[in-house]
Structure 1
């Protein structure tokens, strides 16, 4: 999947969710996906803005995470996912991405 395809998939999923009160950015080697959880439903874009929590990972791992092939906790524990900013926001993502 390309970054545009993953962004579209995340946008579709977010359209069914409620706001969660934070901003999150997934930063990969192929670009970013920004989720504005202050909007209802959350807004998903490729804007590189400041966020409450930034998750850094390789694009292939990001694709696996969004595709359900990689668990977020496993990615974090094995060093594939690095979290900057508010760890509590990262913990909320588990339910938001499902």
Structure 2
């Protein structure tokens, strides 16, 4: 599942740059890391980590889950540098 999401993100990132690294930690489902202008499922340290369910990751990337609302409702837990996470919104639109 996360591999398919990574492939879709890589298609979106084509020709764009993403400064920094961002990890989506989906617990037992694995991780999705955006770094070096690509998405992968290889776990590594990142500037910012967002812990969430795979279902909420899909909603977040489709624009059906507002990041701020997700944090307020406890659906997303952000650690590290939140400024890196903020860059994601403008990148995928």
Q: 8 Å contact 2:3–2:40 — kept in the other structure? A: no
Counterpart residue number, 1:27 = 25
Q: 2:73 aligns with which of 70, 78, 81?
A: 78
Counterpart residue number, 2:58 = 63
Q: 8 Å contact 1:6–1:66 — kept in the other structure? A: no
Structure 1: which 4+ aligned runs deviate by more than 4 Å?
none
Offset of 1:96 from its aligned partner?
Answer: 1.9
The SS at the match of 1:17 is coil
CA distance in 1, matches of 2:78, 2:43: 16
How many residue pairs align between the two structures? 92
Structure 1 spans left out of the alignment, 5+ residues: none
Alignment RMSD, CA only? Answer: 1.3
Structure 2 spans left out of the alignment, 5+ residues: none
What aligned pairs does 1:7-22 form with structure 2 within 5 A after superposition?
7-20=6-19, 22=20
TM-score (norm 2): 0.88
